[in-house]
Amino acid sequence: MDSIAAIPESEYFKAEAHLYRYIYSHINSTVLKCAVQLDIPDIIHSHGQPITIPQLISKLEVHPTKTGCVERLVRFLVHNGFLLETKVNNEEDEESEAYTLTPSSKLLVKAMEPNLAPIVRLVETGYMATFDFLGSWFKGNDKTIAEMAFGVSMWEMLEHDPLRLKSFNEAMASDSQMITKVLKDSKSVFKGLESIVDVGGGTGTTCRIISEAYPNMKCIVFDLPQVVENCSGSKNLSFVGGSMFRSIPSADAVLIKWILHNWDDESSLKILNNCKEAITKKGEGGKVIIIDAVIKEKDDDDGMMQVKLLFDILMMSTLNGKERTEKEWKKLLEAAGFKHYKTAPLSGFRSIIEAYP
């Protein structure tokens, strides 16, 4: 047996710390969920100035025996970039620590847009607990860890559980706020378009903002009937129920945002074929606008790469989907019969791909 003694002691303990950091990394998401449950971002935002620990405790609904733990929770949030420590003077002109929000925690304030708190609350649904099955999933023939955990796919689970479906749709709508901030200003993407259909558009967060930015463009939100049945449109915005695996309403352009990574290549090819048919019903022309991650191992910085790889494992195990490299996107689009496409980075970890038949 090889001896670990050959490893320098300093490296040995670094390796130990590295392992522990990943062994307990699930605590990161649960602490973030806790902060949202306790309304810490909202309390600090409403306070209107840096808040001290005693002031924060006075506004938190925590048990008296837990007040001493609040400072430790705050310390964790500061270290991980969700709170910023500063100094304030009290009535006796004594200096003490106080805390403000960072850009990351501002995204969790309910009164602000965009608001990603619904994404954090997905953890509350037991969704992440399915990852306990990941090791078993590799050894079995179940398509997803959701099927191992619940006996049904995640889509089937959402279809039969209104509360989970509501939580999922709220999370997707909150993410759409982030994308739409950039997308609505991408005038070149929408130039010359008279109509667009947002496939898998949920409750219409993205398409609604696009319709307001381009009032002369006909905008259609296309999703499952149970998703859009209670949604109301406007003068140039409508909702249509159906399945993207059967057919897609005709339009000059099809927007497919953060959808294809949910599906394997075979399913994605069916979706793309239907997208191509939707934009060519009136003849040649039109385009498909894809917003998704593009893995660029040589170009992505460590933070962006980590996010993309986390999503890849998430898609692989929960939905039988994948995040794709540039080479994989090229292969998929060519298989769907698109003759030309162009890719450009979008703000954040996703890119925009415009594909032409």
C-alpha to C-alpha distance for 187 and 242, rounded to whole angstroms? 29
Q: What is the pTM of this model?
A: 0.86
Nearest to 105 by CA among 50, 44, 55, 38: 44
Q: Percent of the chain, pLDDT > 70?
A: 94
Q: Which CA distances in Å does 327 have to 211, 260, 324, 340?
A: 33, 15, 8, 14
pLDDT of the residue at 253? 95
Domain boundaries, the chain: 4-108, 120-356
> Which residues, in sequence order, are bridge partners of residue 95?
89
pLDDT of the residue at 181? 67
CATH fold for the domain made of 4-108: Arc Repressor Mutant, subunit A (1.10.10)
Say which residues have a Cβ less than 8 Å from residue 214's Cβ, sequence separation at least 6: 190, 193
Tens digit of pLDDT per residue, the chain (357 long)? 455 566 777 788 888 899 999 999 989 989 999 999 999 999 999 999 999 999 999 999 899 999 999 999 999 999 999 999 999 887 666 788 999 999 999 999 998 888 999 888 887 656 677 888 899 999 989 889 988 888 888 888 888 888 888 888 888 888 877 777 667 667 788 888 999 999 999 889 889 888 988 999 999 999 999 889 888 888 999 999 999 999 999 999 999 999 999 999 999 999 999 999 999 876 667 999 999 999 998 888 888 899 999 999 999 998 899 999 999 999 999 999 999 999 988 877 889 999 999
Helix runs in 202-354, H state only: 205-213, 225-228, 265-280, 302-318, 326-335
Q: Which CA distances in Å does 230 have to 174, 233, 285?
A: 18, 10, 33
State the residue for tokens 């965009």.
114
Stated length of the chain: 357
Contacts of residues 221-225 at CB distance under 8 Å and 24 or more positions apart, as own/partner, are 221/197, 222/197, 222/198, 222/248, 222/249, 223/199, 224/159
- Please state whether beta strands 324-325 and 287-295 pair in parallel, antiparallel, or not at all (unpaired): parallel
Please list the active-site residues: 261
Q: Are 164 and 156 in contact (CB under 8 A)?
A: no
Torsion from C-alpha of 281, 283, 285, 286, nearest 10 degrees? -20
Torsion from C-alpha of 258, 260, 262, 267, nearest 10 degrees? 160
Domain 120-356 has CATH 1.10.20.10: no
C-alpha to C-alpha distance for 137 and 237, rounded to whole angstroms? 42
58-82 pLDDT, tens digit each = 999 899 999 999 999 999 999 999 9
264-301 pLDDT, tens digit each = 999 999 999 999 999 987 666 799 999 999 999 888 88
Structure-token pair, residue 331: 């292969």
pLDDT of the residue at 57? 96
